[in-house]
Amino acid sequence: MRENIDWPPPACTPTGNLARNLGMCPDWDSNLRPLGAWVDAQPLSHSAGQHLLLDNLLMAAILEEERLNKLRIESQGSPETLISLKKGYLFMYNLVQFLGFSWMFVNMTVRFFILGKESFYDTFHTMADMMYFCQMLAVVETINAAIGVTKSPVIPSVLQLFGRNFILFIIFGTMEEMQNKAVVFFVFYIWSTIEIFRYPFYMLSCIDMDWKVLTWLRYTVWIPLYPLGCLAEAVSVIQSIPVFNETGRFSFTLPYPVKIKVRFSFFLQVYLIILFLGLYINFRHLYKQRRRRYGQRKKKTH
């Protein structure tokens, strides 16, 4: 009996496995391969390979830039962290200065009530160490203004620092004859009175607090105290002139052929002019600050 052979052979019978039904092809392994594998298996042209390489290089450069920016931010610190460190640093500086001047103010006040006028003549020996410390630390305040850590103007800060340190280290510090005079008490007391209101005001500003009474005192107390302090400093300079003339300290003779002896008292007389000029500059600066603080409020009330 002759068998019937169909040619061409019939297509494969569909099954329940859809992967095997794709094209009805008997290549079962190829049909089971994921669709994306066909793309990977195809060879890339030369131009397509270049584009893929450029994309990979660009992505690597972007990731490296992000990594470097992250490291740079971590090393420098976030802006909020830097602001917090700045406020903490200024708060501690003002706190230390406030404690130092407060100690001197309270000490001199108590000694005056107990000893009376007798406390005037040994003020330097009891307060000099603390005053030296506070005035040397005040150099930091001028540096902060110079480099922009604070918004204080540089010239008034330099004038006040130079003026006080000249009186403290030159007039009082180098001349023992001046250390027992009553003018030392008034100079130290006025300086301390000014600072026990100024530094707490700056402390509260660092933590965004505004105590109205303290603010008013900070912008008002200087009106009588700065002229009084300038007057006390001028008296100390005038009293020191004959002492420097007698001792000849810091005097010198110009070389040949001039051979003129220049007394240090000449520079003290020049300093008196600079002293009152500095008072005018600081007074004008503080007046502008007070006017900015309270001038606009007065205009609104009218």
User: Which residues fall within 8 angstroms of residue 108, CB to CB, at 6 or more apart?
Assistant: 119, 123, 127, 185, 188, 189, 192
Asked whether residue 44 is domain-assigned, the answer is: no
Q: Which domain holds residue 113?
A: 86-290
Asked whether residue 296 is domain-assigned, the answer is: no
Among 181, 163, 291, smallest CA distance to 236 is for 181
Range with lowest mean pLDDT among 1-5, 251-255, 294-298: 1-5
Asked whether residue 171 is domain-assigned, the answer is: yes
Asked whether residue 70 is domain-assigned, the answer is: no
Helix or strand holding residue 261 (H, E): strand 261-262
CB–CB of 148/89 below 8 Å? Answer: no
Quick check: bond before 224 cis, omega within 30?
no
Query: What is the set of active-site residues?
Result: 226, 233
Asked whether residue 73 is domain-assigned, the answer is: no
Asked whether residue 282 is domain-assigned, the answer is: yes
More confident position, 301 or 61:
61
Could you identify the residue written with the tokens 């030392």?
184
Asked whether residue 136 is domain-assigned, the answer is: yes
- How many domains does the chain contain in total? 1
Q: The pTM is what?
A: 0.72
More confident position, 284 or 42:
284
Asked whether residue 113 is domain-assigned, the answer is: yes
**Predicted pLDDT of residue 82:** 79
CA distance 81 to 83: 5
**Predicted pLDDT of residue 264:** 93
